[in-house]
Amino acid sequence: MENTVQSSLNYYDNEPERDAFLNDVTLGLQKQAKELPCKYLYDERGSILFDKICELDEYYPTRTELNIMQTYVDEIVARLGQNVLLIEYGSGSSLKTRVLLDNLSGLAGYIPIDISKEHLLNAAAKLKKIYPDLNVHPVCADYTDLFRLPDDIPSSASRVVYFPGSTIGNFNPGDAVKFLHSINNIVGSSGQLLLGVDLKKDPNVLHRAYNDRSGITASFNCNILTRINRDLGANFNTEQFKHYAFFNPSHGRVEMHIISLADQTVQINGSTIKFATGESIHTESSYKYTVHEFTELAGKAGFTVERVWTDEDELFSVQLLRAGAS
């Protein structure tokens, strides 16, 4: 692990290597049903585009979750307690985190973890200016894989993982259990997990959320092809691919795809990938749950759901889980 100091921050660099990116891309695109891991949507431009998505009228999750956090913050922080080491997975711009940072007393430190190095450092530097006395330890890492926490964090603090934004829905249920199990190991016995879980709802609401009129979600989705061209020397003709998202009721998830508009061939680092007209690349799934469904899923990973907060329309939930035997 490389430990450097940047913008008065203790920065820990576990950024995924280019070879891992190349391997994931070539393997995914050589499958019969082509796919790409959604984590690669979040390079610097992808992260900026996602921030813009969060401001869209059609995209309800961000503002709904933020409203829940603001409405119930006193109860939330009371349940989290004091001397908390806050560890955020997929921290992004840390917008919702500020609700916690403003209200948690005796905070032992904050560890934002994100795969996009530039976005992470910029956000962490801004937070350090707002909270100069806060110990901020940004970690650039793929939190879906093995990574180490900083060595100089207080061992006596109560660990709380914060995982907002309904990103848990990007995992299929089996992988979600494995991922929650890894968080259980991070927080330890009686540690806590505060996360956002998107709820099942009218499919028309979901369609609008993932197919906004301004096309920002389409740009966000298709940006992964631009990234592959830039970082892996591929030759995708990005004009010949189109964003496509829909709700799949049999799986209870929204699926994002990139559709090939023509028969075409792409070269990636010596590999040849053929696309037929209408063939898709599956880039992201977003599973939606009922409260009962998610309670059962969390239980398989050794978590007990202690409290669930929702908005009036029950579009979204913020849930507090406590770790136990896993």
Q: CA triplet 272, 116, 129: central angle to 5 degrees?
A: 165
**CA angle centred on 113, ends 112 and 119, rounded to 5°:** 85
Residue 230 lies in a domain: no
* Token pair belonging to 54: 């969060």
Q: Per-residue pLDDT tens for 198-252?
A: 999 999 999 999 999 999 999 999 999 999 999 999 999 999 999 999 999 999 9
CATH code of residue 64: 3.40.50.150
Q: Is 61 in contact with 197 (CB distance < 8 Å)?
A: no
Mean pLDDT of the chain: 92
String of b and e for 138-165 (b: at least 16 CB within 10 Å)? bbbbbbbeebebbeebeeebbbbbbbbb
The answer to the question of residue 23 being in a domain is: no
42 part of a folded domain: no
Is residue 112 within 8 A of residue 139, CB to CB? The reply is yes
Contact 16, 116 (CB under 8 A): no
First to last CA, the chain: 28
Calpha distance 38→118 (Å, rounded):
18
How sure is the predictor about 1, in pLDDT bands with cuts at 50, 70 and 90?
Answer: very low
144 contacts 39 by C-beta, under 8 angstroms? yes
Dist CA 242 CA 221 (whole Å): 9
Report if residue 95 sits inside a domain. Answer: yes
Looking at the predicted structure, is the pLDDT value of residue 2 above 70?
no
**Predicted confidence (pLDDT) at residue 64 exceeds the cutoff of 80:** yes
How far apart, in whole angstroms, are the C-alpha atoms of residue 146 and residue 150?
13
| 4 band by pLDDT with thresholds 50, 70 and 90 | very low
82 domain-assigned: yes
Determine which helix (DSSP H) or strand (DSSP E) holds 237, and give its type and residue range.
Answer: none
**Residue 190: exposed, middle, or buried by beta-carbon count in 10 A (0-12, 13-18, 19+)?**
exposed
C-beta separation of 25 from 273 below 8 A: no
pLDDT tens-place string over residues 24-60: 999 999 999 999 999 999 998 998 999 999 999 999 9
Q: Is residue 135 part of a domain?
A: yes
Angle between helix 216-232 and 18-29 (nearest 10): 110
What is the reported pTM?
0.90
Answer whether residue 270 is part of any domain.
Answer: no
What is the C-alpha to C-alpha distance for residues 169 and 297, in angstroms, rounded to an integer?
A: 12
| Domain boundaries, position 94 | 2-14+54-201+288-323
Q: What is the pLDDT of residue 7?
A: 35
Q: What is the DSSP string of 179-191?
A: HHHHHHHHH-TT-
Look at residue 214 and tell me if it is in a domain: no
Q: What is the count of structural domains for the chain?
A: 1
